[in-house]
Amino acid sequence: MRFNEKFDLLMNLLNIPNNKLAKFMSVDQSLISRWRSGDRDPLKNDLYVTLISEYIVQHTADPQYLYELVAVTPNEEGDNLKEAIAVWLRSEYIQVSSIATKFLNQIQNYKDNTLPFNKALLDEAPIGERLKVEVYHGREGKRKGVVRFLTSVILSNKLTELLLYSDEPMDWLMEDLVFTQKWALMLAELMRIGHKIKIIHTVDRDANEQIVAIERWLPLYLSGQIEPYYYPNYQETLFKKTLFIAPGIAALTSSAIAGTESMEQIFYHDTKMIQTLTEEFNTYLKVCRPLMKIYSEKNLHSFHELLFEFEGQEGDMITLGQTLPFATLSYEDYRRAMKDSAIAANNQDYYIDYYTKRHSLFYSHLKNNKRCDWINLSFLSEQSCINLDTFMLHPLNLESSYINRQINTVERLIKENKHYSLRFCTREIPHNIFLAFKKNTGVIIYKTDPPHIVFAINHPLMLSAFESFIEEITTDDSIDNRSSIEKLHQLLIPAFN
């Protein structure tokens, strides 16, 4: 067998889509097709064969079959399988028919050697621990089980972090309006009490499901008490499962075959069973990635570290907002504005250091990367302006003289730095949103008025959605730097004379 025949055999046997392997290897999907057809040969690039072997080992449900295919005996760690598959793919002639030969030999040599059954064995049957559970049946039972689960958590006297996962269809959640409202109210009460949630979304099935999942949970995301995750290599499976777990309190589970509905929901309050299910969830969580990171007013300082990392990473940057960039405000004017703000005196040293870091990152980034700031035409419509991209709890009210100097700085930057540009957006950018986007890094969305909240996202589908949004909102604004400077001057005169 040639390479392409063996490669195509593995892809078909394991039902691996071309696009999934291409994404894992960071190659074009068409290249996978050419390898399978024999038009291209990856054997010249040893890394390709190694990556193919690694992916196949990670995505097989029956490693023993692969061991037999490549005629290798498994070792205790199983480390030799990936290497054996790579060797098998590289070698030109391997008799895949040996599997059929072994199968026929076993049939040929089969003899009925069944021993008489000893009924005494039945006396040795172990008896497991009996658990008291509650069972709910059908679609209505799903809703009753969820209410039972959430009620147990609300009435418990301890705070916990709920663990939620389901790849079953969720239409039962939305089809009963009364229940949907009850579900939303109960979750809001959980948030109010102080409970948190970790949820694993099955969002890689298609774009629509991802958007629906995010829309459904967005109101609760805004609380800052939910951590959403997703499994990057998710594939549809025949068996579906639901896990709702409140560690130390209760758990609700169900399972179903794809295309059918689970008929039984099992509610547990046995502590050992809840612990077992918790461990199962956490094991899965280890191979998942954050769908987005969410920061509220309670942990906004934690976000600052991520912000420094984001602004310091290589890559062209686009922002949408209401004002001139924070780092173009002079240090002296920043100190004056901060002194007049509601920032406590004991926090001002922190924010001095914060300004210094962001100012340095702003100019360092422009040495090798482009940055374009889009702002609303109306950003200087008042005699004072609130700087909205500070990512600070307390706004900075800037006097007109501060903005005068900031405009001069921006004008000089546009003229002297080929990597910087500023544009005015004729389509209104939401007044309380600041957005920063780097194509290969992520997007940051900041709600600038109370309650403050920040979303940091790097999921590829969401990045694509925001890239399209930016293109749409800026599509009719093709003015150059000279026009931007003229517009700055036009705005400056009526605003401050």
DSSP label of 43: G
Give yes or no: residues 277 and 392 share one domain: no
Number of domains present in the structure of the chain: 3
Could you tell me the residue range of the domain that residue 160 belongs to? Answer: 133-291
57 within domain boundaries: yes
CA-CA distance, 224 to 218, in Å (whole number)? 10
Q: What is the pLDDT of residue 93?
A: 47
- Residue 126 covered by a domain: no
Enter the tokens of residue 73.
């005996």
What is the Cα–Cα distance from 438 to 288, expressed in whole angstroms? 23
Pairing of strands 396-398, 442-447: unpaired
| Shared-domain flag, residues 428 and 364 | yes
User: Is residue 236 exposed (0-12), middle (13-18) or buried (19+ Cβ within 10 Å)?
Assistant: exposed
pLDDT at 315: 94
Whether 382 is in a domain gets the answer yes
- 277, 336: one domain: no
* Rounded-to-integer distance, Cα 497 and Cα 405, Å: 15
Cα angle value 296/298/300 (rounded, 5°)? 60
196-232 pLDDT per residue, tens: 999 998 865 455 566 666 677 777 887 778 899 988 7
pLDDT in tens, 343-380: 888 888 999 999 999 999 999 999 999 999 998 877 65
pLDDT at 313: 94
Q: Does a structural domain hold residue 458?
A: yes
Whether 42 maps to a domain, the answer reads yes
Looking at residue 452, the DSSP 8-state letter turns out to be P
Question: Are 200 and 328 found together in one domain?
Answer: no
Does any domain span residue 128?
no
Whether 268 and 337 share a structural domain: no
Return the pLDDT at 213. 64
Q: What was the pLDDT predicted at 332? A: 94
Sign of the C-alpha dihedral computed for residues 62, 63, 64 and 67 taken in this order: positive
Token pair recorded at residue 248: 């130390």
Burial 257-292 (b: 16+ CB within 10 A, else e): eeeeebeebbbbbeeebbeebbebbeebeeebeebb
Residue by residue, pLDDT tens for the chain (497 residues) are 788 888 888 888 788 889 889 888 888 888 888 888 888 877 666 788 888 988 988 888 777 777 777 766 555 445 578 888 888 888 764 455 566 777 788 788 777 777 777 777 777 778 878 888 999 998 899 999 999 999 999 999 889 999 999 988 888 888 888 998 999 899 999 999 999 999 998 865 455 566 666 677 777 887 778 899 988 777 777 888 999 999 999 999 999 888 777 778 999 999 999 999 999 999 999 988 888 898 888 888 889 999 999 999 999 999 998 888 999 999 999 999 888 888 888 888 999 999 999 999 999 999 999 999 998 877 655 534 566 667 887 778 788 788 888 889 999 999 999 999 998 887 878 888 999 999 889 999 998 888 888 999 988 878 888 998 898 888 765 567 777 887 777 666 444 44
Q: Which of 227, 261, 291 is the last residue of a domain?
A: 291
Do the domain assignments include residue 217?
A: yes
CA distance 379 to 491: 9
Shared domain for 350 and 481, answered yes or no, is yes
**How many Å apart are CA 348 and CA 485, to the nearest integer?**
34
Q: Are residues 242 and 314 in the same domain?
A: no
CATH code for the domain of 415: 3.30.870.10
pLDDT score at 395: 76
φ, ψ dihedrals at 206, nearest 5°: -165, 165
Q: Which of 291, 313, 343 finishes a domain?
A: 291
Q: In the prediction, which pLDDT does 120 show? A: 76
The rounded distance, in Å, linking the Cα atoms of 31 and 102 is 35
306, 444: one domain = yes
Together in a domain, 328 and 456: yes
Say yes or no: 451 and 307 in one domain: yes
- Whether residue 117 lies inside any domain: the answer is no
Single residue among 260, 291, 322 that ends a domain in this structure:
291
Let me know whether 284 and 314 are in one domain: no
Residues 71 and 145 in one domain: no
CA distance 240 to 260: 9
| Cα end-to-end span (Å), the chain | 83
